Amino acid sequence: MKNPADMIAIANAMKKFQADHPKAVAFFQNEILSGVPEGTIIEFSVEKPGGAKVTSNLKVNADDLAAFEKLKNMKP
């Protein structure tokens, strides 16, 4: 069983993230959770202040789709 205090902390952190980054949340909901087929390439980039841009990607597989479905069904 999950610790209720931890679940509340996670929910609060998610709400804060959504408030701080509404465009990122909307992008994730619209492009990822709305349904991507297996084989879709998702690319990530990170550029730290004063640092070089680093990019990586992943090819969506069946396990990823199952995880996306669980995320879609989570309540904030």
Three-state SS across 18-39? HHHCHHHHHHHHHHHHCCCCCC
- What is the pTM (predicted TM-score) of this model? 0.65
pLDDT at 33: 78
Torsion angle of C-alpha atoms 13, 15, 17, 20, degrees rounded to 10: -130
pLDDT at 57: 97
Nearest-angstrom CA–CA distance, 12 and 19: 11
Residue 44 pairs in a beta bridge with 56
Residue 59 has pLDDT above 80, yes or no: yes
pLDDT at 70: 85
